[in-house]
């Protein structure tokens, strides 16, 4: 069985590492290969993935995991459509809106291949491909036992593409929103000269969150993954707008995530030190 990856970033690498076993062959294509990115080629080689000279090389795969940035999920797939064949399965793990998943499914199925909406519901480390996932689409029912056989921890969200994405997008509003709310509150507290008072107050109000360890984790996640999370939150905004709700909230969360992700400052074990470093950067 040949498994392909369209995009070979953190999620694809984690899935590959978890799936690596006898009887499976892995091939991968990433736009960075066209830029002669030696680090990307090395990452593929280290994990035993054959790098494709062009996106057409993925035509050799039985399953193709689409794992690119949220804003590129449709654009990245379009050059592959003419190379798809009957029997191939596109597994779309991108964090995008239900409407985007449905639009992608229509294009894939019109090209003769099958489409599976997969939502990854937790960080891919340390469980890699065993991270809990939701799947949806016409083939979800028959795919579930095949995925389980390979070690996936999944359940079916529905028989229409977008059903898994909807759960992911709504949940992300809370998870990424809580990150942004924590970060902005503590930055404002430090800027106002009342950091200790605010941290003490919210720690007393929400003791179950294990402050300040929880807050440190929020800073680490937004700093390391903020850019990717921002793209995901734009898709969450599109989801809410399509429902007639407040997509502006998700867009504001995206703004915070994007600014934090662009900062590049290192986070540490001491929360106050991290907050001060983040504030200095934000005020430049």
Tokens 């654009």 label which residue? 75
Report residue 235: phi and psi, to 5°: -70, -35
Q: What is the pLDDT along the chain (284 residues), one digit of tens a residue?
A: 999 999 999 999 999 999 987 789 999 999 999 887 789 999 999 999 999 999 999 999 999 999 999 999 999 999 999 999 999 999 999 999 999 999 999 999 999 999 999 999 999 999 999 999 999 999 999 999 999 999 999 999 999 999 999 999 999 999 999 999 999 999 999 999 999 999 999 999 999 999 999 999 999 999 999 999 999 999 999 999 999 999 999 999 999 999 999 987 778 889 999 999 999 988 87
What Å distances lie between residue 85 and 26, 58, 90, 91, CA to CA? 18, 11, 11, 14
Which pLDDT value is given to residue 216? 95
Domain boundaries, the chain: 2-160, 165-282
Which pLDDT value is given to residue 7? 97
CATH number of 2-160: 3.40.50.720
163 close to 117: Cβ distance less than 8 angstroms? yes
Q: What is the DSSP letter of 241?
A: H
Q: In what order do the strands lie in the sheet with 153-158?
A: 49-51, 25-29, 2-6, 63-66, 89-92, 114-120, 132-136, 153-158
Which pLDDT value is given to residue 14? 97
The Cα 134–Cα 38 span in angstroms is: 34
What Å distances lie between residue 155 and 129, 158, 216, CA to CA? 14, 9, 32
What's the angle, vertex CA 259, arms to CA 212 and CA 164, rounded to 5? 80
Which pLDDT value is given to residue 119? 98
Residue in 47, 66, 156, 54 with CA at minimum distance from that of residue 107: 66
The Cα 81–Cα 111 span in angstroms is: 6
Which pLDDT value is given to residue 6? 98
Which pLDDT value is given to residue 90? 98
User: What's 165-282's CATH class?
Assistant: mainly alpha
Which pLDDT value is given to residue 243? 97
Which pLDDT value is given to residue 133? 98
């Amino acid at each position: 069985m040949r498994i392909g990856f369209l995009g070979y970033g953190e999620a694809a690498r984690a899935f590959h590492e978890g799936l690596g076993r006898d009887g499976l062959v892995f091939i991968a294509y990433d736009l960075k290969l066209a830029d002669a990115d030696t680090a990307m080629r090395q990452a593929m080689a280290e994990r035993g993935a054959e790098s494709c000279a062009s996106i057409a090389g993925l035509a050799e795969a039985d399953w193709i995991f689409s794992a690119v940035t949220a804003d590129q999920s449709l654009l990245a797939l379009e050059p592959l459509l003419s190379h798809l064949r009957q029997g191939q399965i596109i597994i779309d793990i991108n964090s995008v809106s239900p409407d985007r998943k449905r639009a992608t499914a229509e294009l894939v199925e019109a090209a003769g291949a099958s489409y599976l909406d997969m939502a990854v519901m937790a960080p891919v480390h340390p469980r890699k491909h065993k991270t809990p996932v939701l799947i949806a689409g016409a083939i979800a029912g028959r795919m579930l036992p095949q995925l389980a056989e390979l070690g996936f921890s999944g359940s079916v969200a529905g028989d229409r593409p977008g059903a898994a994405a909807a759960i992911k997008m709504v949940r992300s509003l809370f998870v990424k929103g809580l990150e942004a709310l924590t970060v902005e509150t503590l930055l404002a507290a430090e800027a106002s000269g009342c950091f200790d008072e605010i941290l003490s107050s919210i720690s007393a109000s929400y003791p179950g969150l294990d402050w300040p360890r929880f807050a440190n984790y929020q800073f680490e996640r937004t700093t390391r993954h903020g850019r990717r999370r921002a793209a995901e939150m734009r898709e969450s905004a599109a989801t809410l707008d399509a429902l007639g709700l407040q997509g502006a909230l998700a867009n504001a969360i995206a703004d915070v995530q994007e600014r934090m992700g662009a900062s590049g400052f290192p986070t540490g074990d001491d929360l106050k030190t991290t907050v001060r470093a983040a504030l200095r950067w934000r005020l430049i």
